[in-house]
Amino acid sequence: MTAENTTAGSGDEFVPRTVLVTGGNRGIGRSIAEAYREQGHRVCVTYRSGEAPEGFFAVQADVTDSASVDQAFTQIEAEYGPVEILVANAGVTRDTLLLRMKEEDFTDVVDTNLTGAYRVVQRAAKGFLRKKFGRVVLISSIVGLYGSPGQINYAASKAGLVGIARSLSRELGSRNITANVVAPGFIDTDMTAVLPEETQAKYLDAIPAHRFGRPEEVARAVRWVTSDEAAYITGAVIPVDGGVGMGH
Ligand code: NDP
């Protein structure tokens, strides 16, 4: 194992960690879970609907329900002990222009993407404090920093994650706990596949790299920011967006 491959341990020695990725059954979350597994970590994923993904310790959880979140953590702790690396990835969109947006379109998206992240972070924090070690990555979006028409609900929820990561860094930073945000641009997954072709073409034109990102490219940034190499990075917003959000 090279130094490059070590994660959140001491020196060059590889320390396997207990990792939890919410919404790890598909898309970006699935890629993140695979990236940690490749390195030999104990990887747990939550899934909300459908089948449990093969090859991971999978627990069913809905991040809009604190009892469900608590029960998922309890199951993980019984199997592997406290979560050491938490990736809050579960997210939804419900796009529509402001004048057509119903209040529940706003509150439901915020409840999943922002309050959902708060629920898992709060539950994980107990274990971090006991272990005197914790790594948090919140999956935001370029939309949270740049804004996007038709996504006031989503943008608000994703911008709020920056506030969580930075406040958490200030609150628990002295306990060997880091909290960072990864802000993907346009990544090829189910979430973006549903966008009209015309919208996709418009995004492509605006991306300096002139291509959409791959889930693995987000996964590598997430894994790196929880590694030893990034132990002094906290409260940061790391874009993985082909340059589209430069300066935001
Ligand atoms: P997908 O729609 O492919 O996957 C979303 C995941 O979140 C699924 O696993 C889904 O579970 C889970 N989820 C949704 N709601 C809940 C809930 N209430 N409780 C638990 N799990 C839930 O999305 P992506 O992989 O594209 O996105 C992953 C993250 O990355 C999201 O936070 C998204 O906002 C963010 N992102 C994505 C970008 C992109 O271009 N794709 C760009 C920027 C950010 P289920 O399978 O049960 O529905």
Domain-wise residue ranges, the chain: 15-239
Model confidence pTM above 0.90 = yes
Q: Which fold has domain 15-239?
A: Rossmann fold (3.40.50)
- pLDDT confidence bin for 6, thresholds 50/70/90: very low
For the chain, what's the residue count? Answer: 248
Of 76-85, 186-195, 237-246, the range with the lowest mean pLDDT is 186-195
ipTM above 0.85, yes or no: yes
- pLDDT confidence bin for 10, thresholds 50/70/90: low
Counting ligand 1 atoms within 8 A of each CB, the residue from 92, 93, 107, 222 with the most, and so the one to mutate, is 92
Q: Is 227 in the pocket of ligand 1 (CB under 6 A)?
A: no
Establish whether 154 is a catalytic residue: yes
The rounded Å distance from CA 161 to ligand 1 centre is: 15
Distance CA 176, CA 223 (A): 17
